[in-house]
Structure 1
């Protein structure tokens, strides 16, 4: 298995018919593993895919070399079927690869510059929340900027409601209340976000860009990079909509995120 080539007729290659997970592995120990496996199982149920054997999946992180690695898992429906019709008895194909990883502490400390994307996400509740292989919307959104100072792009839906960043979730604090976009129609439910919601009162809501402009603090986050506070938000044309100064209101959520991922609190610049 591993990262060997897939055949031309693999349905993941042809149709995006499959799922993936990206897992932080620290000295052979996977971080938020149960949350990743739970999301993979939800995705398999939605797509009607048999899950790979648990013992096969659970053995993979131990193959990593020491230090920080990122394990990317791909599960496709395999080959077979005629056109879009799925095979009567799918034989899923599992592939994986490890890559060395180094986080970006400066972004934790100083915050990041983000922008709104022109692209609007379409609604498909059946696919909302899971990490399926068809990520063309995210690819097109990421093509909208090349400037290295822009760390992420924020995505909205057809009704201009905030959804997520191109590869991260979005959380903000407004009037003392932690909020995150509702992901029932589109977007990916990140494992760091879902785990943080077990520890902090983060409320899902439908909100537009005004919510971010009113926010005392905001973050983009995922289970590999951790939580980056927003320092500046631009519109899709590059005009500045909001600036934040890093302060104590940015650190509470970050401290929880750091602890969940095993990153030191000292990297936030705190004593």
Structure 2
């Protein structure tokens, strides 16, 4: 496993997006939800046919430990070599990482507006769920809005099914339960999402963008990830800010409390 502070020109991660990454919340030197991040990174490496880094190499990414909150970003590329898209005969994967101080967007725990993006995610089961380095769909979707009043953008696939947000997973409340879309054809299977599924706090179910817009059965909506926590959605808007529909107040909802407990974030009350 080769390491580098700078990516060489011929690195396949740079050239082709041939690799995977993880973004990990660190609290006082400890990586939160680490078994899930490690498992997803290894699964992504296996999917792409890259030898994953061993535990010692990964643990070195957060040494020496520090106090407070940080975000650790880990990238594993296939390394250099090969002619065109052909794989190198001898692969030497490259591990890169960086730690930065972090503070969550606490004001967004009380509620945000999100837009419905025009871009549609391609359905590709071979890559579904993993956090590979080719995020061009997310980049194009993020270009659709500029207003600071819009916190995130929701993405549906080419069949019109809700999948995720540009950098977060999606959850909703309907029929006295919490739900999240299945990610068997596209999208990133987030580690916070995985933990909530394992706890039985959410279940998988399909939801079309059309139903999200029109059905009053979808009472509350959330976007969240393992770094920022869970943001309740106040309103769904267009990228230009025109309101499409509102959702019931959800700050301090049980799902948010469960998600924040996993990350060491405070639970909000209705009065916060």
Task: Please give the TM-score of this superposition, normalised by the length of structure 1.
Answer: 0.94
- The answer as to whether partners of 1:36 and 1:191 remain within 8 angstroms in 2 is yes
Runs of 5+ consecutive residues of structure 1 not aligned to the other structure? none
- 2:169 aligns to what? 169
Number of residue pairs the alignment of both structures matches: 268
Distance in 1 of aligned mates of 2:269 and 2:63:
29
- 2:219 aligns to what? 216
- The answer as to whether partners of 2:17 and 2:133 remain within 8 angstroms in 1 is yes
List aligned pairs for 1:10-25, cutoff 5 A: 10-25=11-26
Q: Say yes or no: does 1:76 pair with 2:110.
A: no
Task: Please give the TM-score of this superposition, normalised by the length of structure 2.
Answer: 0.93
Q: Say yes or no: does 1:56 pair with 2:53.
A: no
Shift of 1:3: 6.4
List aligned pairs for 1:181-196, cutoff 5 A: 181-196=181-196
SS in 2 for 1:73: strand
Q: Say yes or no: does 1:123 pair with 2:141.
A: no
- 1:134 aligns to what? 134
- 1:228 aligns to what? 231
Shift of 1:237: 5.4
Distance in 2 of aligned mates of 1:117 and 1:190:
20
Over 3 Å counting, the alpha-carbon distance change for 1:173 and 1:211 in structure 2 is farther
- The answer as to whether partners of 2:112 and 2:151 remain within 8 angstroms in 1 is yes
Considering only aligned residues, what root-mean-square deviation do their CA atoms show, in Å? 1.8
SS in 2 for 1:60: helix
List aligned pairs for 1:200-215, cutoff 5 A: 200-213=200-213, 214=216, 215=218
Over 3 Å counting, the alpha-carbon distance change for 1:239 and 1:74 in structure 2 is same
Runs of 5+ consecutive residues of structure 2 not aligned to the other structure? none
List structure 1 runs of 4+ shifted beyond 6 angstroms: none
Over 3 Å counting, the alpha-carbon distance change for 1:230 and 1:121 in structure 2 is same
Q: Deviations over 1:81-132 (max 9, x none)?
A: 11000112210000000111101221112x0100000100001111100000
- The answer as to whether partners of 2:70 and 2:102 remain within 8 angstroms in 1 is yes
Shift of 1:203: 2.0
